[in-house]
Structure 1
């Protein structure tokens, strides 16, 4: 690898594992290294692990340490981005951890941090499904609903890091709303995440509705989507409801940030066109003509590597 080439390190920090990626200036992922988080070692122990993984990756790839132009980290939880502080991360058991300060001291490189969902969105914008597009909204449909908003090639973080928290858009009417993990009622996450889909399926079974889902011991979101594809009426209704509120949320965002493209990723999105076509149908139904003209909805393409690519990209799009 050319010793004059600038390289960037991206860190995707999870509760059980840490993925570290090496990217070039074009956002190409050159190599990855993954190791255990070991959250029980507390923040200092986790930071030590991250340093070891970063240095191992750089050494293994034969890079000069001087080539590393910056390090970025995508972290689950609530952050004070400008201060480089993790205010609270339930997945890691952290509170008020100065990640930027600790990692800069360990690595001797400038460190930038952001929410893990923002980092994943940035990965898709840098070299994924929205490469070359300046105005993008990304959804990650997993256990929750994560999101990231990029306007004029700049990540929308907001004044205290809460920008892009799409999963907590209040879109469900009060009469239908349940309490979200955030403590509020009516959040998109309660109906359009894997957790929300499973909840709706279990409720239908408890009510005694006639559905093939009643024969599944531990219902997963994939089960619901598979049964919907097979034509189960109840499963179809659940998937349709999830798609309805996703489309409605996109319609709301279309008149706030007016993106050219919506990118949808995460485990639930693996249902592919079966889900995306429904989401797009509702988006077009609810949207103003000028806000939906020439706007498309596409699947994410970076998969589990979006987070490390986007974290490295914090130095490009910051």
Structure 2
């Protein structure tokens, strides 16, 4: 076999997921094992190398076909140097990840921010396949993002490009503090955390809502209540969608992508979220910046990070 394969690593706080992709971004084989981050970075790097070798051994491919390994990592990175400055979900600091893994595996290694990698995964093998210019949002505990231009991740000067969750978009009178230290960030209203916060605020105010009957409200509870016609839940959903649509309108006149891709757990809500996002985007985006642009759900789910990490080598 002479076909080259690309191995992706999605390094999470509890699990390390690895997978093999072909040159077209098709996921061929996966493997998953525990991170055990508390054992330290040295043990973690060895575990990654072990899992990479395991996924190749369990596949129909040979090690000689591996063109390289990419890894998506949450945290503050020096991407060109392949250096982890600090990863809060791992508790690791000052790790020469690229250098260590290349020594252990004997193949080229690239690392990048986990949100960038998920965006690249969708662009390469998911909802953005065949579209060279797209922007991806990941709506989960926070709001992650990635910008793909000409089929490549746009990282910016210091690797901070695509931090869409920290676009300051909520007016001062409505804004609250964000975990990044700023106020009014998109993440404060359009993430699962933001949606739950708004729901709890409504219950504490005494708003008439079925959410008051739920002890531990989740974002899914809010969307389910909205689909059942709960007016308070619908107001919260529409607020989250409003600021997402407004942020896309701003991005559209800067980057002019052909497609916006929305992934993460919150995106599973479906049309109740996507319809108002599209409506707001259309309302606030100049005609020539919205023509031919669509807003679609992500398709790779939890595999986006693996596929995108593998795509770093291309």
Give the TM-score of the pair, scaled to structure 1: 0.98
Can you give the 5+ residue segments of structure 2 that lack an aligned partner in the other structure?
none
Can you give the 5+ residue segments of structure 1 that lack an aligned partner in the other structure?
none
Q: Separation in 1 of the partners of 2:98 and 2:35?
A: 17
Q: Separation in 1 of the partners of 2:157 and 2:102?
A: 23
Matching of residue 211 in structure 1 with residue 212 in structure 2:
no
- Residues 1-318 of structure 1 mapped to structure 2, 5 A cutoff: 3-316=1-314
Give the TM-score of the pair, scaled to structure 2: 0.99
Query: 1:73-112 deviations in whole A, cap 9, x for unaligned?
Result: 0000111100101111110012221111111111111100
Q: Separation in 1 of the partners of 2:44 and 2:262?
A: 30
Q: Separation in 2 of the partners of 1:173 and 1:97?
A: 39
Decide whether the 8 Å contact of 2:120 with 2:152 is kept in 1.
Answer: no
SS at match of 1:315: coil
SS at match of 1:87: strand
Q: Separation in 1 of the partners of 2:199 and 2:122?
A: 31
Q: Separation in 2 of the partners of 1:286 and 1:196?
A: 23
Q: Separation in 1 of the partners of 2:286 and 2:166?
A: 22
**CA RMSD, aligned part only?**
0.7
Q: Separation in 2 of the partners of 1:179 and 1:45?
A: 37
Runs of 4+ in 1 over 6 A off after TM superposition: none
Q: Separation in 2 of the partners of 1:191 and 1:12?
A: 27
Give the CA deviation at 1:62.
Answer: 3.5
